[in-house]
Amino acid sequence: MANCRRGSTGLAIGGLPPITTTIVKPIVLLSLTGAVLSLFFLWISSNSSRVGLHIGGWRRPMTESAGGGGGVPAETMPPPRAFILWLHGLGDSGPANEPIKSFFTSREFSATRWSFPSAPVMPVSCN
């Protein structure tokens, strides 16, 4: 009878006050989520050399090139550490913005992959 529910000031689950259970549940859930994500990323990084998967995306084998012939080995270029998707404004195009890369010359941007997509041309009713 000691663990029975009483009014709003009484004991709740297993003798713990209700405020404790509302704090403990999110902490336990967050901890479990972090542990599962950590294990997943450890598993991905341990399998990356066998599968050819890098965090930045898939890579070609070292001897393969875009043209199918000799070409530059893939290991001469550093693996991409960052990806920048540069979106253009109204009336512009992606290739017109490619010279922007030349402004980012510090060594932090040496292993950065860039993309300058172009949006389809559409009539604009209002500027």
| Residue 7 scores a pLDDT above 70 | no
Residue ranges of the domains in the chain? 1-51, 71-115
Q: Any residues with CB less than 8 A from the CB of 107 and at least 6 apart, and which?
A: none
pLDDT in tens, 19-76: 777 788 888 888 989 888 888 777 777 655 554 444 444 444 444 444 455 555 555 6
Q: What is the pLDDT of residues 84-105, one digit of tens each?
A: 888 888 878 888 888 888 888 8
Instruction: State residue 63 phi and psi, 5-degree precision.
Output: -90, -15
User: Is the entire prediction scored with pTM above 0.75?
Assistant: no
Give strand ranges (E) for the chain: 53-54, 57-58, 82-85, 112-115
